[in-house]
């Protein structure tokens, strides 16, 4: 099937979700406060008291909701997951897997669009913090697990971890383009995502070939490990046997 062009996507106004209303829950207000502040100043300079004040919650309430700014980002990611998953339909069920993944990821970018200014600040700061990047990678893996499930992609097989990390890498590369994409339909982002998906498909095909080629070796190693364990068990029993026999003789002699 031919790839979809950016002109085939619905207008952004038809797809982009709105931010929560002002009467949102304290949890949502804290998430919104962080994203608003990140759009106004460097993420690393945002303090907890400042977030609480903007969200109109006390520090006590804030502490009960989130232990850190990183936890707020995790909750923000889950909110985006929910928006994408709630908007998932079966319209693309008959499309190739690649097209389904493309659609899911573009809808994720649509959901992120209202927060792009804040995401620029957050991305700049996190790129200089390896520990935070590692934590956010785990958040991204959890998100992509659900995104791929929504696209009908199985991640429970032997190549599941590679598919998940590959999806994170594909989205992350397209995300860098998204941050500076001023096209109304995110055409540049879609073109980059299209290119990265092509590259990801090639890597998966190669990994699948390698997995198939090494299957006999893995089967041999599993059999060898089982044989080694069985040999160890037999040797332990043989070594215990004389001691057990001596103990019984001693009892009889007594």
Q: Does residue 200 have a pLDDT over 50?
A: yes
Query: Higher pLDDT residue, 50 or 254?
Result: 50
Q: What is the pLDDT of residue 8?
A: 52
Where does the pLDDT of residue 109 fall: very low under 50, low under 70, confident under 90, or very high at 90 and above? very high
Q: What is the pLDDT of residue 21?
A: 53
Report CA-CA distances (Å) from 23 to 11, 20, 27, 28, 56.
Answer: 28, 8, 11, 9, 11
pLDDT band at 97 (very low <50, low <70, confident <90, very high): confident
Token pair, residue 137, equals 């990678």
Contact 170, 144 (CB under 8 A): no
> Residue 94: which pLDDT band, with cuts at 50, 70 and 90?
confident
Q: Which residues contact 105 (CB under 8 A, 6 or more apart)?
A: 147, 170, 171, 174, 193
The pLDDT > 70 percentage for the chain reads 72
Q: Is the pLDDT of residue 44 over 70?
A: yes
Residue 162 has, within 13 A of its CA and on its CB side, a CA count of 14
pLDDT tens digit sequence for 112-127: 999 999 999 999 999 8
Identify which of 65, 38, 66, 68 has the alpha carbon closest to the alpha carbon of residue 54. 38
């Amino acid at each position: 099937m031919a790839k979809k062009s950016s002109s085939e996507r619905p207008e952004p106004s038809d797809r982009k979700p709105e931010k929560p209303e002002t009467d949102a829950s304290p949890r949502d207000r804290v998430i919104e406060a962080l994203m608003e502040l990140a759009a106004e100043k460097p993420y690393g300079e945002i303090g907890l008291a400042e977030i609480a004040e903007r969200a109109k919650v006390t520090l006590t309430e804030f502490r009960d909701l989130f232990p850190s700014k990183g936890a707020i980002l995790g909750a923000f990611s889950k909110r985006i997951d929910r928006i994408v998953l709630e908007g998932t339909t079966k319209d693309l069920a008959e499309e190739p897997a690649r097209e389904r993944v493309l659609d899911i990821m573009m809808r994720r970018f649509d959901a992120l669009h209202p927060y792009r200014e804040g995401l620029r600040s957050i991305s700049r700061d996190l790129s200089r913090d390896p520990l935070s990047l590692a934590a956010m990678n785990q958040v991204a893996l959890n998100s992509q697990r659900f995104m791929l499930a929504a696209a009908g992609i199985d991640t429970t097989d032997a190549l599941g971890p590679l598919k998940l990390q590959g999806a994170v890498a594909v989205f992350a590369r397209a995300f860098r383009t998204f941050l500076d994409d001023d096209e109304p339909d995110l055409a540049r982002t879609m073109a980059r995502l299209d290119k990265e998906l092509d590259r990801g498909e090639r890597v998966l095909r190669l990994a699948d070939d390698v997995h198939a080629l090494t299957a006999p070796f893995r089967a041999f190693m599993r059999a060898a490990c089982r044989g080694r364990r069985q040999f160890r068990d037999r040797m332990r029993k043989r070594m215990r046997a004389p001691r057990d026999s001596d103990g019984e003789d001693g009892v009889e002699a007594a």
